[in-house]
Structure 1
């Protein structure tokens, strides 16, 4: 992760951003250090130390009076009588500045200028503390990425090409600890939610005796919207643990307050930790429900798959009027749920709905000759070649270029990008779908009840909370749900919907009406009353807690998207 050697004066915000450096507020550095460094004889490492904010916090923890004289208890230190602190920093001017500050503090410290990933783990430190560099995967490439992935792989952690720099840094840092050592890091809140961190989450639970997570309601870094979490992992090589303790504070100034801890147990070690964001009562209710027999993962119902990929939607999709203008035959076209998902916010997409969408000028047809194209289709294919449609990547790699790979109509549609929450919609029109929505193909035993009731039954507060925890926030605060994330969505078990069928069907018209009016919360309240309270006997107070927390999670996601800015 080579960086040009620059003077301190030329270390601009852009240069710092390129290497993922941003400065840690003093209360945060001191809090982590006070937790991790527990004895004047601790051997402490700060990788990517910048100007040694955490090492200097260790000096103040066990080394300084206001007049910068050593405390008397430093006689208990190592034989040389000096506290031992090590730092590693890629940026040479910062490393030199850190060394000067530590020398002025009168402690034994060594700051090495090096790429952290090139240094073999020593396994000798009592505490590894710091704020890892944050470089997004788009800018984290070449030798830097190769070194980081190799370092993570040495610990049995596999990282994808989407991993940002902090993920491998966290794993590599842990390997420098001696058994029983403590890892205290400032990490992006991505730790809780992104798919590429699954192996990092598994690694932490398997290797450490205990894990504490400190979250914040307000931004920790002024002017930066990215959320952070303080990872406090204790007892290296003394794991595994099956849970983490979580606390949420208002801001960094509240770190001195006594925390209120709650316990979070992921169902699987690699699962997302986003349920940890739930308040205590809602977390307890949610955990008990998804671990019980009444809720299951969507994968139980069937397979969620990507839709058809055209390579050029503008060319391949069209309205009925456009198809007629081009003289295309019925054999040249197949029925299509139009691109996007705005029209999939009700319980079903009917043939009547599809006809109306087409009459309104939406693209309800896909150009895909089934056998020999008609004369008009051949003319349209030639027009496509003249417009270089055949040169698009997805077109170039298939033969013939104009025949889109076929995906049969799904039983249900599942929306992919959502401002409110993912929606399941019954595909009564038997339309095909593009990759702007997913298709759910129900297993044979559940097909009838699934097509009839799953879109309705999924509008409950448990599933709505689950969507916020298994999905991930995207640009603008949208909630994105990939197929493998959708597989984990908690939904009512088929037996539950079968048992509640009569009462659910009775409220279907009211729910459908509210959905048409855009009243999602009112629709969900109807389903909660029938399904959660009436059928499953869940206390009204628990249902209310779940509903409230879903609103909090959604508001948090939307606020994050609205304020999104790049890290400095």
Structure 2
């Protein structure tokens, strides 16, 4: 790869330009370009690696066109193509400009990957407008590749093929929901090639190859399933033979389950689509916790409450910030008192009506420290009254080294946004409070958490309320039918959790809810457990690599 004058690695990274390995370009062009007369477009072509691959075959007579926003790269691409006798046209333009680049039998390429923090201003506005022309609304969190994918499809003729190198976040990020749904609605066949190892040396981002065939401009009968293939690395593409069929969830839901093995996916799907399991939203509503604007000011330990002389009317009980104390089955009044005795903040300063004299004094001290100028404080009146949420029935941890945990709120305490609250439906409240935290410690739910949650910095698994809604958990009927057996194992499970032996606790619950009820065979359960271990290891490894490189 030749570095052009006035260009450098930092500038290339800023515009999301990464050189595509030859085996990847060769595989995609071989798949997408089926006839020498077919017209081909490579958007954001950079060095035009894909056009070079097509031209080097010889005998291609159809139009070859590239678009590249960087003038120097466009000029160099045109020069190098001509030098090799390849008849191609490179436009030095913004792909999202109003210029018409025509319609093609195939669009192939490696769209630029620019994160939302750097993808701003007019560039973002043009990209979002281009996606909207296809009916796909992208949020402000969308990286550049999302709009490129949709806009690339708009340049296809009916029946055309789209072959792109995309970040693996296509499978898992919320902002890509519209892109996922668009692909399924507007192509007769959709396929993905997944990699065990990173394809781009020195680049943290994992990628997948999108193989979308049979473009339908007006939608119609889109794909009902997709084909998934897996190889070790780019070199393995030359030996790619088989694939497996998978029906992804609808409405743009995540495709993370596509990372499972064939056996694990089959077992997982059979359970999740059956009557034994349901989604957490069946049991109740999951919501964000209270936001104070300054936990340091608003959260108080019992000793600090006494020192300040605050009245009971100034305070409400609080599950301390964080979630380390919510790794068991229940937060009891006794456990809450013990946390307070350890100096944890088990009170929230929140006068419901008129503060006490001591409360007014504390408010004045906060103003001396400019607490009232913090954003969340200054936009509410009065600044010192945190918006109220009633105590939740269950707590759900949302930042997790292992897996999200449900904990019964026996202390009937309030919570901050360091955890989520689950408000159970009336008909399920008793069973949910007593048994759902226990029942959710099963291998299917653990594997489901890896597919609906998101890998975060340091390898943490983050789950938001909307993602928690679709977390697969045992159904109320399954829990009720096995209530006695669950109660019998509860002491042993609680001991395992106290000793940080999560998987031993899960094995006890699996025996009751999965094997004992014939919901899964032993062989299928082994496949689910292997996939959970594999996805967890993948998440943790990615987190360690990201941390070693300073995170991105």
The aligned residue for residue 378 of structure 1 is: 360
The gaps in structure 1 that reach 5 residues or longer are 1-6, 64-73
Q: Distance in 2 between matches of 1:169 and 1:454?
A: 43
Alpha-carbon contact 2:457-2:551 (below 8 Å) kept: no
Contact 1:27 1:252 in 2 (8 A): yes
Q: Which range moves more in the overlay, 120-129 or 11-20?
A: 120-129
1:100 aligned partner: 79
> Residues 220-299 of structure 1 correspond to what in structure 2 (within 5 A)?
220-237=199-216, 239-299=221-281
Match of 2:183 in 1: 204
Q: How many corresponding residue pairs?
A: 545
SS in 2 for 1:522: helix
| Alpha-carbon distance, 1:483 to partner | 0.5
Distance 1:538 1:90 in 2: 53
Alignment-derived partner of residue 416 in structure 2: 434
Moved more, 512-521 or 534-543: 534-543
> Paired residue for 1:68?
none
Distance 1:509 1:566 in 2: 42
Alignment match of 1:50 (pick from 27, 46, 50): 46
Q: Which of 6, 12, 21 is the matching residue for 1:10?
A: 6
Q: CA deviation at 1:269?
A: 3.9
Q: Distance in 2 between matches of 1:120 and 1:550?
A: 47
Bigger mean CA offset, 267-276 vs 189-198: 267-276
Deviation string 1:379-410 (CA, Å, 9 cap, x unpaired) is: 00000000000000111111111011100100
Distance 1:431 1:127 in 2: 59
In 2, Cα distance between equivalents of 1:231 and 1:484:
26
Would the aligned equivalents of 2:115 and 2:143 in 1 still touch at CA under 8 Å?
A: yes
Instruction: Tell me the alpha carbon deviations over residues 298-332 of structure 1, each in whole angstroms, 9 at most, x when there is no partner.
Output: 11111000100000000000110011111111111
TM-score by length of 1: 0.94
What's 2:489 paired with? 507
Q: 1:199 to 1:342 in 2, by over 3 A?
A: same
Shift in Å, 1:447: 0.3
**Residue of structure 2 equivalent to 1:350:** 332
DSSP-derived class of the 1:139 partner: coil
Distance 1:100 1:262 in 2: 42
Match of 2:160 in 1: 181
DSSP-derived class of the 2:5 partner = helix
What is the alpha-carbon distance in structure 1 between the residues aligned to residue 427 and residue 13 of structure 2? 54
SS of match in other structure, 2:513: helix
Match of 1:318 among 284, 287, 300: 300
CA contact (8 A) 1:307 1:434 kept: yes
Aligned to 2:31: 35
Structure 2, unaligned runs of 5 or more? none
Q: How far is the alpha carbon of 1:258 from its aligned partner?
A: 3.0
1:224 Cα shift? 1.3
Superposed, 1:508-547 pairs within 5 Å as 508-547=490-529
**Superposed displacement of residue 119, structure 1:** 4.0
Aligned to 2:67: 88
| Contact 2:231/2:240 (8 A) holds in 1 | no
Q: Distance in 2 between matches of 1:407 and 1:509?
A: 32
Give the Cα–Cα distance (whole angstroms) in 1 for the partners of residues 314 and 98 of structure 2.
61
Matched, 1:24 2:20: yes
TM norm structure 2: 0.97
Q: Say if 1:369 and 1:403, in contact at 8 Å, map to a contact too.
A: yes
SS of corresponding position for 2:516? helix
Find 1:337's aligned residue among 303, 307, 319. Answer: 319
State how far apart, in whole Å, the 2-side matches of 1:110 and 1:224 are: 30
What's the CA shift for 1:537?
3.9
Shift of the 452–567 alpha-carbon distance from structure 1 to 2, 3 Å rule, reads closer
CA distance in 2, matches of 1:36, 1:342: 50
Deviations 1:450-490 (A, max 9, x none): 00110000011111111000111111111111110000101
**SS, match of residue 198 in structure 1:** helix
Does 2:541 match 1:559?
A: yes
Alpha-carbon distance in structure 2 between the residues aligned to 1:247 and 1:214: 5
CA positional deviation for 1:239: 4.3
**Which SS does the other structure have where 1:145 is aligned?**
helix
Preserved contact between residue 271 and residue 519 of structure 2 (Cα < 8 Å):
no
Q: CA deviation at 1:212?
A: 1.1
Contact 1:121 1:175 in 2 (8 A): no
Aligned to 1:413: 395
Residues 52-131 of structure 1 correspond to what in structure 2 (within 5 A)? 52-61=48-57, 63=58, 74=59, 82-119=61-98, 124-131=103-110
Q: Is the 8 A contact 1:410 1:439 kept in 2?
A: yes
For residue 57 of structure 1, give the secondary structure of its aligned residue in structure 2.
helix
Structure 1 stretch displaced more, 242-251 or 87-96: 242-251
The answer (yes or no) to whether the contact 1:133–1:165 under 8 Å persists in 2 is yes
Match of residue 4 from structure 1 = none
**Alignment check: 8 A CA contact 2:23 2:237 kept:** yes
Structure 2: how far apart are the matches of 1:99 and 1:212? 31
Structure 2 Cα separation of the partners of residues 531 and 494 of structure 1: 12
Question: Structure 1, residues 6-46: CA drift from partner, whole Å, max 9, x if none?
Answer: x9122111111111111111111111111111111110100
Query: Residues of 1 paired with 2:550 and 2:494: CA distance?
Result: 41
TM-aligned CA distance change 1:152 to 1:537, over 3 Å: closer
Of residues 134, 140, 159 in structure 2, which corresponds to 1:155?
A: 134
Alignment partners' CA distance in 2, 1:566 and 1:205: 36
Give the match for residue 69 of structure 1: none
SS at 1:118 equivalent: coil
Cα distance in 2 between the residues matched to 1:315 and 1:566: 31
